[in-house]
A and B are shown apart, each in its own frame.
Chain A
Amino acid sequence: MSVPLLSVSGVKSFYGSIMALKGVDIEIAEGEIVSLIGANGAGKSTLMMTISGNPRAREGRITFAGQDITRLETHEIARLRIAQSPEGRRIFPRMTVLENLQMGAEIDRARHFEEDLARVTKLFPRLRERLTQRGGTLSGGEQQMLAIARALMSRPRLLMLDEPSLGLAPIIVRQIFDAIRELNRREGMTIFLVEQNAYHALRLAHRGYVMVNGVITMQGTGHELLERPEIRAAYLEGGRH
């Protein structure tokens, strides 16, 4: 692997005195889809939030495109074009879809607004019909699409998605994962995906990591991980997908 776009090494992260990440190492290369799977409370979201600088890593080092971002503020990290679709979507409910997207374009100073708008509405045609609607009136799936589209408006170099399938119907989940795949194929977008839905996440990913209790326990290509019996036992057999 060439020089990774994002590299996390030896990162420890705390909530108060509780250590949530106990020395995590991951790498994401340009143009890759990397999935991080694990059970509830394993620390997946914490890792994503730590990359975003909230909470900051207490130990270890995070570099992005060769720059150390461990100590940067959240908004400074975002300005380096690391876009995040946070857990629970967190769209702006009283603002229209269009305004939500505009907020996403703020980093880019809205220089390519119309072009990017065309790009994300092509990816999620549902949003095009909803542009003047308030974010809070969208369905869960549309809100998730909006959250991803909003993140894309900043023209990110790295797109981080936290549980995009959470609480969505299987058909919507498939639509969203298709969009993610298309994004990567067509635009070469680098994507870091945190998921509980291990089957979908690993099938989509070039590489995957498995996290248990704040430690990375396994890694490999998506297919390798899907074949592993322990993964099948822990994350796949329990619930049919």
Chain B
Amino acid sequence: MIFDTDLSGNGIVNCFPEKTRSIDLSKVSDQVFLFDTMLETESDGKSIDYVVDVSASELNRFFRIFSDIGFERGAFEIGLDVHVCYIISWTLKSLKNASKIRDILVDSQFTVVRNMAIEALPFTPDPEEESQVPNLEIDLFLNALSPEVFRIIDNKQFSFARFIEGGHDNLDYEMRAEIWNFLEDVHNQIRIGR
């Protein structure tokens, strides 16, 4: 099950409309639905994976609620594993946010993700900013795809799962190879990290 905090309609709900529920984090009723659903279902003995897509504008609010209500402790008590994947961009604000989130997590796994398709130039802090740059290790790199392949995977009709199962066979060999390489690379990094 997927929760999408991006209310613009352009978020992950676009790709998985049947599996996704939009969450307005400014509403307590939606906060209750989001966090209680994850904990209650798990305590019912059913094993369901949840993905919460936290939009950049809701990041602070999400983790404030996450921390205030003690979600991590509740999850730990019922055996729900929490993995936080934070996609950084090369800005001081993004790096500081990553560090802040990492610091509030106790039992959760924190993965720093770098999307190489975004802001390819490495981050160079101004001299006065240098002391503020947190020490972060990137756990997962998402390699940049060619513009042609990026356009294909960005299409909401495209599905990685279907691709792996042999679907999307209209793509030419080079494109298929590029997508396979991309997926394999992600898979290998996760496997090694594990």
The answer to whether A binds B is no
Q: Name A residues whose Cβ lies closer than 8 Å to a Cβ of B.
A: none
